[in-house]
Amino acid sequence: MEDVFFIVSKIAWAFLSPANVIIFASFLGALFLIFNRISAAKKLLIPTGLIAFTIMAYPVSDYLMEPLEKRFAKPETMPYEIDGIIVLGGGEELARSLSWNTAELGIAGDRYIGAAKLASIYPRIPIIFSGGSGDPRLQNSGGEAAIAKQLLTSVGVPEYRLIIESESRNTFENFVNTKPLLPKADGKYLLVTSAFHMPRAVGVAQMQGINLVPYPVDYRTHSEDYRKFNFNLYDNLKSLEPAWKEWIGLTVYWATGKTERIFPGPQS
58-63 — which CB contacts under 8 Å span 24+ positions? Answer: 58/227, 58/228, 58/229, 58/230, 58/236, 59/221, 59/222, 59/227, 59/230, 59/235, 59/236, 59/239, 60/236, 60/240, 61/236, 61/237, 61/239, 61/240, 61/243, 61/244, 62/221, 62/222, 62/227, 62/239
Task: Give the torsion through C-alpha atoms of 63, 113, 215, 64, to 10 deg.
Answer: 10
- What value does the CA radius of gyration of the chain take, rounded to a whole number of Å? 20
Distance CA 53, CA 46 (A): 11
In 3-state terms, what secondary structure has residue 129?
A: strand
For 149-190, the pLDDT digits (tens) are 898 998 889 999 999 998 899 999 999 999 999 999 999 999
Mean pLDDT value across the chain? 92
DSSP label of 183: S
Confidence band, pLDDT 50/70/90 cuts, at residue 77: very high
Task: Determine the average pLDDT of the residues in 106-131.
Answer: 94
pLDDT > 70? residue 141: no
Confidence band, pLDDT 50/70/90 cuts, at residue 95: confident
Distance CA 120, CA 139 (A): 33
Lowest model confidence (mean pLDDT) among 72-86, 136-150, 151-165, 214-228: 136-150
pLDDT > 60? residue 268: no
Confidence band, pLDDT 50/70/90 cuts, at residue 140: low
Distance CA 185, CA 83 (A): 10
Task: Determine the average pLDDT of the residues in 51-75.
Answer: 96
Tell me how crowded residue 57 is: count the other CB atoms within 10 A of its CB: 14
- Domains, the chain: 2-66+230-251 (no CATH), 74-219 (3.40.50.620)
Which pTM value belongs to this model? 0.92
pLDDT > 60? residue 11: yes
